[in-house]
Amino acid sequence: MKGGFLLYYEIYLDVYFLENLMLYFLILQFAEFIQKDTFSMARKLLASGIGAFGACMLVVFPIHKSRILSVVCSILLCFLTAYTAGKKRGSRSWRKMVFSFCILSLFLGGIWQFFIAYLKLPFWIAAMAGYAAARLLWKYWQKAKAGTGYLYDVTLKRGTAQISLKGLLDSGNQLTEPLTDRPVHIVDYDEICRLLSDVEILELDSFLDMEIGGSMRGGFVYVPYHSVGESRGVLPAMTLDSMEIRHGESAWSTKRVLVAVSRKAVSSRGKYQMILHPRILE
């Protein structure tokens, strides 16, 4: 071409299809992760296949020559892919899925472009590294959002009994069980007694009132503690069957949680009855 340059791209559609299949699948996986929902493997593969096929068609046909038409077709393709993955979950669920998918496509796309264009990583490595980086960023943002001032609705279960209370996520609570390094949550005496038998309450009272030594029955263990301005001591703790915490639309559920009992109310104003360990969000 005289007076200029003639540029062309050679694209192998089979490779391009597989690359897009992987990208769409990872986006759906991430959407599933942040929504704390599950979609069948078959549905995710079908949706990813539709997205990858559509991406190939956008290359084959001269749609890319028009920016407006290319953007419109890309949005429709995202909608179709997300709808296919989430349409069986009800109208509200698939709408949320479509919105999440579109936002995550832009977010993950930016991360992948950075890894490929600036770090010069091979596509497959960049795809997995970008996905891992996105998950780490999401977890970090969740922890930062939780901070130290968020109250959660907490449900504690032991056998057939359960109680509901308010819990404060406190980054200053670093209490752990020495032998296993399990995180320990702290709950008010009055609340935990609702899960105990009369015999267990008497045993707990004896320890809290006199701090007796020896072995304790009823599943109690000793957990040493030290707080600012106070001497060292030990708290009785026990393992509960499960704990579920909620904040807005987010929810976490943990089995076999260790809770220590405090005779003194954990909140002087009674706004909450439990102090949650920050590792509950991990």
Going from the C-alpha of 281 to that of each of 139, 209, 248, the distances in angstroms are 8, 34, 15
Residue 8's pLDDT is 54
pLDDT digits (tens, 9 = 90+) for 172-210: 788 888 888 899 999 999 999 999 988 888 888 887 776
Give pLDDT tens digits for 215-245.
455 567 888 876 644 556 788 899 999 999 8
Mean pLDDT of 26-43: 78
> For a pLDDT cut of 90, what percent of the chain falls above it?
15
Look at residue 2 in the predicted model and tell me its pLDDT: 46
What are the pLDDT digits (tens) for 243-266? 998 887 778 888 999 999 998 888
Task: Please tell me the class of the 151-281 domain.
Answer: mainly beta
Q: Which helix (H) or strand (E) holds 236?
A: strand 233-247
**pLDDT surpassing 60 at residue 211:** no
3-state secondary structure of 254: strand
What pLDDT, on the 0 to 100 scale, is given for residue 175? 87
Helix axes 67-86, 13-35, angle to 10 degrees: 60
pLDDT per position as a tens digit, 105-156: 878 878 888 888 888 888 888 888 888 888 888 777 766 655 545 788 999 9
Beta-carbon contacts of 27 under 8 Å, excluding residues fewer than 6 positions away, are 101, 104, 105, 108
Among residues 277, 278, 243, 255, which one has the least CA distance to residue 153?
243
Question: Rounded to 5, what percent of the chain is helix, strand, coil?
Answer: 50, 20, 25
The pLDDT of residue 224 is: 84
Give the pTM: 0.49
